[in-house]
Each structure stands twice: as structure tokens, then as C-alpha cells.
């Protein structure tokens, strides 16, 4: 006999089956999702270069001025020996070099993690500092000693300077210069005219005669003795020494801490040497006032130091007293009047052949005072070296070969 079917029970059974299926599907979704691992490749290493110029920025304006167009302004030039290092984002050094003789450099970059780099300029010589940094520096302009650039950057330039080497000249800033005359020293002395025969003098940097358009009359005023703009006495000149006291001098250097001025003997054809001979440095005290920077109250000139061999008094040839010396070899030269061809007065002809061949190879070239104001640098033309003199003790500190 066929079994009867209950419709209500049948419906409940189907509903139970649907719920079971739904629960199963939810459980499937809630189960942990397993994802297969994916390999992450490292960024490719970046190679390339960064280049630029390290330059001596004399006036610290942040601009490379190899030719400023004004002879009164300093000419910047390349600066050698500065270390340039490139670092990547992980602070790893990825290249280094030093600036060459002309100041240029190229850092070869190898293995940087990105193309973003930090360039650092280090190992500046003692006394040198970073120059003025131009914001957003471009070619020929100095950035800071730490610059952020990309691989491939060029014209990443950097200026250095010594602050004490540059002075902005004001109207009353004094300058000193030497003057030379032909013949024996005594023939340039005129007791009735102390302005005659001045061999060392100081002037204000600017006077009425140095205004624009008056360059041909530089520091000269007509005294009425002879017509023309080139005759007369220098305007606002402060005489510091006479030719009889110094003979021929050329190199000058000021000691800023004291205001003293050094002036070195020089060998010139038909120009008499001074009482200290071929290798002497003279000094005038208190030429400048260190407090104001203006011309002070100069004292009498001194035969400060003979760097060469000692001299024996020889009144017949312009050496009135014995002159002790350090004994450094500045070359041999017959400074007697007979040895120089017998020149006496400015108008007397004399071949002076020994001086003709000795100029530039005997005696002293330029002089300079160190930044700390304690040393005097003297160029020895004969040995081609720089003699470093301790100013306080007047002794030789060291000799530096120029080569």
C-alpha cells in the first residue's frame, strides 16, 4: 500500500537542506585565505657621475669671477685638493675624488641605491672656509659644502676663501707702494725738499684725483712748477721712507695686528740696493691704525732683518754699518758701484750687466704676512723657495720649496 505524503513535513525538510548548504558556504568563506608568496626584486644600482668646479672666491660673493672686468677686483681661480664625496640615500659613499689643479672634478658614482645623492666638500686647507652660498646655485655659483643633486648633475660648484685675504676698500682705506730711482741713493736726497726721493709711501685708496674720468691724473696734483697733468706731487701722500734709506724695494706686506709695514729689497738694473743689501726686509712701524684701518702715525724705517749672509760695513759702496744676517743663500751679486758699471748719478750711463742677468733670479721676490699675523713669507728667487720667518723672534721657521 502506498505511503501517504505530508506536504508540511516535506517543506520543512527542504528548508533544512537549504540552511545546511548556506552554513557550509559561510564556513567556506570564513576559512583562512592562503596566498602564495611573491618575490620582491631589489632596486637596480645606479651608476653615473657628478662634476663641477671648486674655486677660490676671493671676495666671497659666491660667484666664480675669472675676469670681473675691473683691474681693481680680484680674479677668482680654480682651487685644488678639496675632497668631493658622493653619498646615496642609505648614507653609503658611492664615489669620491679631489679637485684638480684648475679646480674641476668629476666623481664617478657606482652602486647608488637611487639617483638621489648628497655631495660633500671636505678637507679644506687650514684657514680656508666655505664661501657665500647662493640659494639655488647654478653654473658658476657656489653652493654650500653639502649639496643635494641627482646622478648626472654638472656644474655642482663650490667656493672657498680666506676671510683675512680680502678687504673692501673704502674711500680712506690706505694703500702703500714703493718707488724706485736710477743711480746711487745719495743723489736722490734733497734736504730742502723732503718730498724728493721718497721710496715708500701710503695713500688713501680714493681721492678726488681718482674719481671716474680722472684716471690719468691718478693721485697727482699740479704744483705749478711745470704745466701738465703729470707733473707735481702725489695728492694726500704720506711719505714713509726715502730712497737713501731703502734703495730699491718692491714687495710690501702689512701686519694687520700691529699696523706695521714690511718692504723687501729688490734687484733692479741701474737701481741702487739699500744699506741692508740684496736680501733685507725693512719695516716701518705704525703705518696703519689697527683700530680704524686708516693711516696712523708712522715711525722711522728700520733695517729689520737681513735674511742673507752678514754684511761688513763698506761706506764706499753704501753699507754704512755691519749688518748681521741669517745666512740664507739668495744668490751672489757684486753690489759695489764698480761692479755695477760705475753708475753714480741718475743721468750717468752704466751697463750694469750683472743686474741685467740677475733680475728675477737673485734676491727677494714678493712678501706676505700669514693670516694669524705671526709669520712673514719671503720669496727666495735664487733657491725658488719660500722662507717662513717668525716675526716675533726674527728667526727662520721653515723653508718651503716652490716646486
pLDDT in tens, the chain (403 residues): 444 444 444 444 554 554 444 444 444 444 455 556 655 555 678 999 999 999 999 888 899 988 877 766 778 999 999 999 999 999 999 999 999 999 999 999 999 999 999 999 999 998 899 999 998 888 999 999 999 999 999 999 999 998 877 766 666 778 898 988 888 887 777 666 666 788 999 887 765 444 444 433 434 444 444 444 444 455 677 889 999 999 999 999 999 899 999 999 999 988 999 999 999 999 999 999 988 888 899 999 999 999 999 999 988 888 888 999 999 999 999 888 888 887 777 767 677 888 888 999 999 999 999 988 999 999 999 999 999 999 999 999 999 998 6
Query: What whole-number distance in Å separates Cα of residue 52 and Cα of residue 67?
Result: 19
130, 255: one domain = no
Query: Quick check: helix, strand or coil at residue 213?
Result: coil
pLDDT at 8: 45
Q: How many CB atoms lie within 10 A of CB 13?
A: 10
pLDDT at 173: 77
CA nearest 339: which of 281, 266, 272?
272
Lookup: cell for 205: 685708496
CA nearest 110: which of 89, 98, 96, 91?
96
pLDDT at 161: 93
Number of domains in the chain: 2
63, 147: one domain = yes
pLDDT at 178: 92
Contact 366, 386 (CB under 8 A): no
Domain contains 34? no
CA nearest 275: which of 239, 243, 235, 230?
243
Burial label for 301, CB within 10 Å (0-12, 13-18, 19+), is buried
What is the residue whose three cell numbers read 741692508?
276
* Start-end of H helices in 53-152: none
Q: What is the CATH number of the domain that holds 90?
A: 2.60.40.10
Q: How many CB atoms lie within 10 A of CB 198?
A: 21
Contact 203, 219 (CB under 8 A): yes
pLDDT at 21: 46
pLDDT at 326: 97
Domain contains 324? yes
160, 188: one domain = no
Q: Which residues contact 228 (CB under 8 A, 6 or more apart)?
A: 222
101, 64: one domain = yes
Where is the domain boundary, 114, 139, 165? 165
131, 185: one domain = no
Where is the domain boundary, 165, 187, 219? 165
**Taking the alpha carbons of 209, 299, 173, 261 in that order, is the dihedral positive or negative?**
positive
Contact 93, 87 (CB under 8 A): yes
392, 375: one domain = yes
Angle at CA of residue 73, ends 71 and 76, nearest 5°: 110
Global confidence as pTM: 0.66
381, 251: one domain = yes
Range of the domain at 185: 174-206+237-401
77, 202: one domain = no
Contact 56, 77 (CB under 8 A): yes
Amino acid at each position: 500500500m502506498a505511503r501517504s505524503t505530508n506536504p508540511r513535513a516535506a517543506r520543512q525538510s527542504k528548508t533544512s537542506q537549504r540552511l545546511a548548504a548556506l552554513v557550509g558556504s559561510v564556513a567556506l568563506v570564513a576559512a583562512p585565505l592562503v596566498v602564495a608568496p611573491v618575490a620582491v626584486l631589489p632596486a637596480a644600482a645606479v651608476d653615473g657621475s657628478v662634476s663641477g668646479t671648486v674655486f677660490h672666491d676671493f671676495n666671497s660673493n659666491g660667484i666664480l669671477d675669472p675676469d670681473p672686468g675691473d683691474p681693481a677686483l680680484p680674479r677668482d681661480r680654480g682651487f685644488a685638493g678639496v675632497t668631493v664625496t658622493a653619498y646615496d640615500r642609505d648614507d653609503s659613499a658611492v664615489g669620491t675624488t679631489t679637485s684638480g689643479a684648475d679646480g674641476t672634478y668629476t666623481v664617478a658614482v657606482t652602486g647608488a641605491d637611487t639617483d638621489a645623492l648628497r655631495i660633500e666638500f671636505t678637507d679644506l686647507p687650514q684657514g680656508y672656509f666655505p664661501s657665500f652660498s647662493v640659494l639655488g646655485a647654478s653654473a658658476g655659483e657656489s653652493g654650500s659644502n653639502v649639496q643635494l643633486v641627482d646622478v648626472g648633475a654638472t656644474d655642482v660648484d663650490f667656493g672657498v676663501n680666506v676671510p683675512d685675504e680680502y678687504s673692501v676698500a673704502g674711500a680712506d682705506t690706505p694703500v702703500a707702494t714703493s718707488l724706485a730711482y736710477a743711480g746711487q741713493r745719495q743723489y736722490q736726497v734733497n734736504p730742502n725738499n723732503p718730498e724728493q726721493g721718497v721710496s715708500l709711501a701710503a695713500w688713501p685708496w680714493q681721492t678726488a684725483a681718482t674719481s671716474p674720468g680722472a684716471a690719468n691724473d691718478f693721485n697727482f696734483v699740479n704744483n705749478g712748477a711745470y704745466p701738465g697733468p703729470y707733473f707735481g706731487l702725489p695728492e694726500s701722500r704720506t711719505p714713509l721712507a726715502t730712497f737713501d734709506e731703502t734703495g730699491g724695494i718692491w714687495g710690501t706686506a702689512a701686519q694687520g695686528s700691529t699696523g706695521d709695514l714690511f718692504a723687501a729689497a729688490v734687484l733692479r738694473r741701474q737701481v741702487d740696493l739699500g744699506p741692508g743689501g740684496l736680501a733685507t726686509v725693512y719695516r716701518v712701524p705704525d703705518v696703519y691704525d689697527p683700530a680704524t684701518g686708516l693711516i696712523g702715525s708712522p715711525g722711522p724705517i728700520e733695517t729689520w732683518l737681513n735674511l742673507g749672509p752678514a754684511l761688513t760695513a763698506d761706506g764706499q759702496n753704501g753699507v754704512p754699518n755691519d749688518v748681521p744676517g741669517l745666512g740664507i743663500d739668495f744668490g751672489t751679486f757684486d753690489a759695489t758701484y764698480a761692479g755695477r758699471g760705475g753708475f753714480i748719478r741718475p743721468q750717468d750711463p752704466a751697463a750694469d750687466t750683472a743686474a741685467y742677468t740677475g733680475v728675477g733670479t737673485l734676491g727677494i721676490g714678493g712678501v706676505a704676512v700669514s693670516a694669524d699675523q705671526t709669520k712673514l713669507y719671503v720669496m727666495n728667487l735664487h733657491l725658488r723657495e719660500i722662507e717662513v720667518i717668525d716675526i716675533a723672534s726674527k728667526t727662520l721657521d721653515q723653508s718651503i720649496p716652490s716646486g
